[in-house]
Amino acid sequence: MPNTNKISWVNIILWGIRILVIILILWGVANTIISGKYSANNWISLIVAGLAQGSIYALIALGYSLVYGIMLMINFAHGEVYMAGAFVSYFVANALEKSGFLIRQPIITIVILLITAMLTSTLVALLLEKIAYRKLHNAPRIVALITAIGASFFLQYSFRGFFGTGFKTYPDFGTIWGKWTIGTTTIQVVQIVVAVAALLIMLILYWFVEKTKVGKSMRAVSEDREIAALMGINVKKIIVITFMLGGMLAGAAGVFRGIYQPQGIGYSMGFLPGLKAFSAAVLGGIGNIPGAMLGGLFLGIFESLGPNLVLQGLGIVGANQLKDAIAIVMLVLVLIFRPQGILGEKLSEEKA
Amino acid sequence: MKHFFECKNLSKDFGGLTAVNQFNFHMKQGEIVSIIGPNGAGKTTFFNLITGLYPVTSGEITFNGHNIVGLSPYQITELGIARTFQAVRLFTDMTILENAMIGQHCRTNSGVIGAILQSSDHIKEEEHIKQYAKNQLEFFGSRLSGYRMNQPASVLSYANRRRLEIARAMSTEAQLLLLDEPAAGMNPKETIEIANLIGRLRDERGFSILVIEHDMQVVKDVSDHVIAMDYGGKIAEGDYYTVANDDRVIEAYLGRSDN
Amino acid sequence: MNTSEHKTINNIQQDLLKCIRIGVYAGIICIFVALIGMVEKFNSRDIISEVISMGHTLLVIITLSGTILTIQQFRQISLEYKHSSNGINYLWELLVGIFTGLIISSILAIFVVFINEIDIRPIFINASPTLLTILTFDKDIYTATMNLLVLGVVLGFIGTLFLNLPGKLRLLLIAGISSVIILGMFQDIITIILSKDGWPKILLNFLIDKNGVSVTASIVIFILIVITTSIYPYLPTAYENTMRLVAIYHSINLRISMYIMLAITLLLRIYWFIAISDKNLPMLPLCREGYITTNATLGQCAIVVYNQFNNVTNLFANSTSIINLIITISELILVGSISYSIISILWKSLRKTKSYNTNNLSELEHQTLIIKTKRNFSIVMGSALLLSLPMLLGVFPSEVLVNIGIYMLMGFGLNIVVGNAGLLDLGHVAFFAVGAYTTALLTSPRASLELGLSFWAALPIVIVITGLTGILVATPVLRMRGDYLAIVTLGFGEIARFLFLSDWFKPWLGGAQGIIKIPPISIGSIEFIGPHRIYYLIILFALIALFISVRIKDSRVGRAWMAMKADEKVAETMGINTVYYKLLAFGMGAMIASISGAIFATKLGTIFPHSFNVLVSITALSLIIVGGIGNLTGVIIGALVLVGLPELLREFSEFRLLIYGTLLIVMMLLRPEGLVPKSNTNTMIKDQDLIQDAWVENSTIYSHVKR
Ligand SMILES: Nc1ncnc2c1ncn2[C@@H]1O[C@H](COP(=O)(O)OP(=O)(O)OP(=O)(O)O)[C@@H](O)[C@H]1O
Ligand SMILES: [Mg+2]
Burial code of C465-476, b = ≥16 C-beta within 10 A, e = fewer?
bbbebbbebbbb
Burial code of C363-374, b = ≥16 C-beta within 10 A, e = fewer?
eeebeebbeebb
pLDDT tens digits for A23-60? 888 888 888 888 877 777 788 888 888 888 899 999 99
First to last CA, chain B: 40
What residue segments make up the domains of chain A, in order of their start?
Answer: 41-337
What stretch of H or E contains C522? strand C521-523
Task: Please check whether residues B178 and B253 belong to one and the same domain.
Answer: yes
Domain that holds residue B26: 1-80+174-259
Nearest-by-Cβ selection for B54 from A4, A5, A349: A349
Query: Are A352 and B70 an interchain contact pair (Cβ–Cβ within 8 Å)?
Result: no
What is the pLDDT, as a whole number, of residue C255?
A: 54
Task: Please check whether residues C20 and C59 belong to one and the same domain.
Answer: yes
Distance between CA C349 and CA C344 in Å, rounded?
Answer: 8
Any idea what DSSP says for residue B156? S
Q: How confident is the model at residue C435 (pLDDT cuts 50, 70, 90)?
A: very high
Task: Please check whether residues C479 and C380 belong to one and the same domain.
Answer: no
Q: Chains with ≥3 Cβ pairs under 8 A against B?
A: A, C
What is the pLDDT, as a whole number, of residue C406?
A: 93
In the structure, ligand 2 is a single-atom ion and the residues with CB under 5 Å from it are B 44, 86
pLDDT tens digits for C518-531? 888 877 666 777 77
Task: Please check whether residues C350 and C462 belong to one and the same domain.
Answer: no
Does some domain include residue B165?
A: yes
Q: How confident is the model at residue C644 (pLDDT cuts 50, 70, 90)?
A: confident
What stretch of H or E contains C533? helix C530-553
pLDDT tens digits for B121-151? 888 999 999 999 988 888 887 777 777 778 7
Query: Are C566 and B94 an interchain contact pair (Cβ–Cβ within 8 Å)?
Result: yes
Task: Please check whether residues B251 and B181 belong to one and the same domain.
Answer: yes
What is the pLDDT, as a whole number, of residue C327?
A: 56
Helices and strands of chain B, counted as H and E runs: 10, 10
Nearest-by-Cβ selection for C548 from B82, B116, B168: B116
pLDDT tens digits for B14-53? 877 888 888 888 888 888 999 988 888 888 999 999 998 8
Ligand sitting nearest the alpha carbon of B85: 2
- Highest mean pLDDT among A128-142, C482-496, C560-574 belongs to C560-574
What is the pLDDT, as a whole number, of residue B258?
A: 45
Task: Please check whether residues C388 and C358 belong to one and the same domain.
Answer: yes
Does some domain include residue B55?
A: yes
Q: Taking 70 as the threshold, does the pLDDT of residue C584 lie above it?
A: yes
Domain boundary among C117, C134, C164: C164
Distance of CA A349 to the CA centre of its chain: 28
Domain boundary among B119, B145, B173: B173
**SS3 helix, strand, coil % of chain B, rounded to 5?**
45, 25, 30
SS3 A7: coil
Positions of chain A with pLDDT under 70? 1-6, 344-352
pLDDT tens digits for C282-302? 555 544 443 443 333 344 444
Q: Which residue owns the Cα nearest ligand 1 atom 24?
A: B39
Does some domain include residue C672?
A: no
pLDDT tens digits for C90-134? 787 888 888 889 999 999 999 988 888 888 888 888 888 888 888
Residues from chain B that touch C555, judged by Cβ atoms under 8 A, are 110, 114-115, 122, 126
Centre of ligand 1 to C-alpha B44, Å, is 6
Q: Which of B232, B257, B223, B258 is nearest to B48 (CA)?
A: B232
How far is residue C636 from each of residues C374, C411, C621, C624, measured CA to CA in Å? Answer: 21, 8, 13, 9
Q: Which of C190, C235, C230 is nearest to C213 (CA)?
A: C190
Q: Which of B7, B10, B4, B8 is nearest to B232 (CA)?
A: B10
Q: Chains with ≥3 Cβ pairs under 8 A against A?
A: B, C
Q: How many other CB atoms are there within 10 angstroms of residue B104's CB atom?
A: 25
Does some domain include residue B122?
A: yes
Domain boundary among B173, B192, B216: B173
Name which CATH class applies to A41-337.
mainly alpha
Domain boundary among C144, C164, C184: C164
The CA R_g of chain A, rounded to the nearest whole Å, is 21
**Residue pair C281/C274 in contact by the 8 Å Cβ criterion:** yes
Distance between CA A254 and CA A260 in Å, rounded?
Answer: 10
Does some domain include residue B89?
A: no
**Residue pair A140/C676 in contact by the 8 Å Cβ criterion:** yes
Region label for B185, one of left (φ > 0), alpha (ψ between -120 and 50) or beta (otherwise): left
Residues from chain A that touch C22, judged by Cβ atoms under 8 A, are none
Query: Are A4 and B66 an interchain contact pair (Cβ–Cβ within 8 Å)?
Result: yes
Distance between CA C112 and CA C513 in Å, rounded?
Answer: 47
What is the pLDDT, as a whole number, of residue C279?
A: 60
How much of chain C, in percent, has pLDDT values that exceed 90? 15
Q: How many other CB atoms are there within 10 angstroms of residue B35's CB atom?
A: 26
What is the pLDDT, as a whole number, of residue C346?
A: 56
Task: Please check whether residues B167 and B213 belong to one and the same domain.
Answer: no
Distance between CA B126 and CA B115 in Å, rounded?
Answer: 10
Q: Chain A interface, mutation test: which of B18, B78, B106, B179, most A Cβ atoms within 10 Å?
A: B78
What is the pLDDT, as a whole number, of residue C349?
A: 52
Q: Does A335 touch chain C (CB under 8 A)?
A: yes
Q: How many domains, in total, are found in chain B?
A: 2
Query: Are B75 and A350 an interchain contact pair (Cβ–Cβ within 8 Å)?
Result: no
What stretch of H or E contains B21? strand B17-27
Task: Please check whether residues B189 and B211 belong to one and the same domain.
Answer: yes
Distance between CA C620 and CA C433 in Å, rounded?
Answer: 13
Centre of ligand 1 to C-alpha C482, Å, is 25
What is the pLDDT, as a whole number, of residue C258?
A: 59
Does some domain include residue C295?
A: yes
- β-strand C52-53 against C46-48: which pairing, if any? antiparallel
Q: Which residue owns the Cα nearest ligand 1 atom 29?
A: B40
Q: Chain A interface, mutation test: which of C618, C696, C703, C707, most A Cβ atoms within 10 Å?
A: C696
Alpha-carbon dihedral B77, B83, B89, B90, rounded to 10 degrees: 70
Task: Please check whether residues C548 and C585 belong to one and the same domain.
Answer: yes
Does some domain include residue C692?
A: yes
What is the pLDDT, as a whole number, of residue C266?
A: 64
Task: Please check whether residues C404 and C382 belong to one and the same domain.
Answer: no
Task: Please check whether residues C482 and C371 belong to one and the same domain.
Answer: no
Task: Please check whether residues C361 and C262 belong to one and the same domain.
Answer: yes
pLDDT (mean) for C596-613: 89
How far is residue B36 from each of residues A179, B149, B252, measured CA to CA in Å? Answer: 74, 34, 11
What is A58-115 written as a DSSP string? HHHHHHHHHHHHHH-S--TTHHHHHHHHHHHHHHHHHHHHHTTHHHH-HHHHHHHHHH
What is the pLDDT, as a whole number, of residue C354?
A: 45
What is the pLDDT, as a whole number, of residue C412?
A: 93
Distance between CA B126 and CA C554 in Å, rounded?
Answer: 10
What is C456-521 written as a DSSP string? HHHHHHHHHHHHHHHHHHHHHHTTS-HHHHHHHHHHHHHHHHHHHHSSTTHHHH-GGG-B--PPPE
Task: Please check whether residues B76 and B179 belong to one and the same domain.
Answer: yes
Domain that holds residue C263: 250-392
pLDDT tens digits for C319-355? 444 444 555 555 556 656 665 666 555 555 555 444 4
Distance between CA C661 and CA A147 in Å, rounded?
Answer: 8
How far is residue C344 from each of residues A292, C228, C232, C253, C380, measured CA to CA in Å? Answer: 71, 16, 15, 14, 17
Probe ligand 1: pick from B44, B57, B84, B216, max atoms within 8 Å of CB?
B44
Q: How confident is the model at residue C269 (pLDDT cuts 50, 70, 90)?
A: low
Task: Please check whether residues C607 and C529 belong to one and the same domain.
Answer: yes
The answer to which of C328-332, C573-577, C669-673 has the lowest mean pLDDT is C328-332
pLDDT tens digits for B50-87? 998 888 888 889 888 888 888 888 989 998 899 999 88
What is the pLDDT, as a whole number, of residue C680?
A: 42
What is the pLDDT, as a whole number, of residue C465?
A: 93
Task: Please check whether residues C478 and C452 belong to one and the same domain.
Answer: yes
Residues in Cβ contact with A7 at an 8 Å cutoff, skipping those fewer than 6 apart: none
SS3 B149: helix
The closest-lying atom of ligand 1 relative to the alpha carbon of residue B86 is 27
Any idea what DSSP says for residue C288? S
Task: Please check whether residues B178 and B258 belong to one and the same domain.
Answer: yes
What is the pLDDT, as a whole number, of residue C322?
A: 47
Q: Give chain C's mean pLDDT.
A: 76
Nearest-by-Cβ selection for A349 from C480, C618, C694: C694
What is the pLDDT, as a whole number, of residue C591?
A: 93
The CA R_g of chain B, rounded to the nearest whole Å, is 19
Q: Does A138 touch chain C (CB under 8 A)?
A: yes
The closest-lying atom of ligand 1 relative to the alpha carbon of residue B41 is 21
Report the amino acid identity of residue C550.
Answer: V
Report the amino acid identity of residue A155.
Answer: L
Distance between CA B107 and CA B124 in Å, rounded?
Answer: 14
Domain boundary among C582, C612, C642: C612
Distance between CA C656 and CA C41 in Å, rounded?
Answer: 13
How many alpha carbons lie under 13 Å from residue C84 in its C-beta half-sphere?
0
Task: Please check whether residues C286 and C388 belong to one and the same domain.
Answer: yes
Task: Please check whether residues B184 and B162 belong to one and the same domain.
Answer: no
Task: Please check whether residues C428 and C373 belong to one and the same domain.
Answer: no
Q: How confident is the model at residue C313 (pLDDT cuts 50, 70, 90)?
A: very low
Q: How many other CB atoms are there within 10 angstroms of residue C700's CB atom?
A: 21
- Highest mean pLDDT among C368-372, C509-513, C526-530 belongs to C509-513
Q: How many other CB atoms are there within 10 angstroms of residue C256's CB atom?
A: 11
Domain boundary among B173, B198, B224: B173
First to last CA, chain C: 40
Does some domain include residue B88?
A: no
Q: How many domains, in total, are found in chain C?
A: 4
Does some domain include residue B67?
A: yes
Distance of CA B7 to the CA centre of its chain: 16
Does some domain include residue C626?
A: no
What is the pLDDT, as a whole number, of residue C273?
A: 59
Phi, psi for residue B38 in degrees, rounded to 5: -65, 170
Q: Taking 70 as the threshold, does the pLDDT of residue B257 lie above it?
A: no
What is the pLDDT, as a whole number, of residue A217?
A: 87
Residues from chain B that touch A2, judged by Cβ atoms under 8 A, are 75, 78-79
Distance between CA C515 and CA B257 in Å, rounded?
Answer: 74
Probe ligand 1: pick from C688, C705, C707, max atoms within 8 Å of CB?
C705
Does some domain include residue B86?
A: no
Return the axis-axis angle of helices B96-103 and C556-566, rounded to nearest 10°. 100
Nearest-by-Cβ selection for C566 from B13, B92, B111: B92
Residues from chain C that touch A271, judged by Cβ atoms under 8 A, are 614
Residues in Cβ contact with A334 at an 8 Å cutoff, skipping those fewer than 6 apart: A279, A282, A283, A341
Reported pTM: 0.84
Task: Please check whether residues B68 and B191 belong to one and the same domain.
Answer: yes
Q: Taking 80 as the threshold, does the pLDDT of residue C624 lie above it?
A: yes
What is the pLDDT, as a whole number, of residue C697?
A: 35
Ligand 1 neighbours (beta carbon < 6 A): A 348-351; B 14, 17, 19, 37, 39-45, 86; C 702, 706
Does some domain include residue C202?
A: no
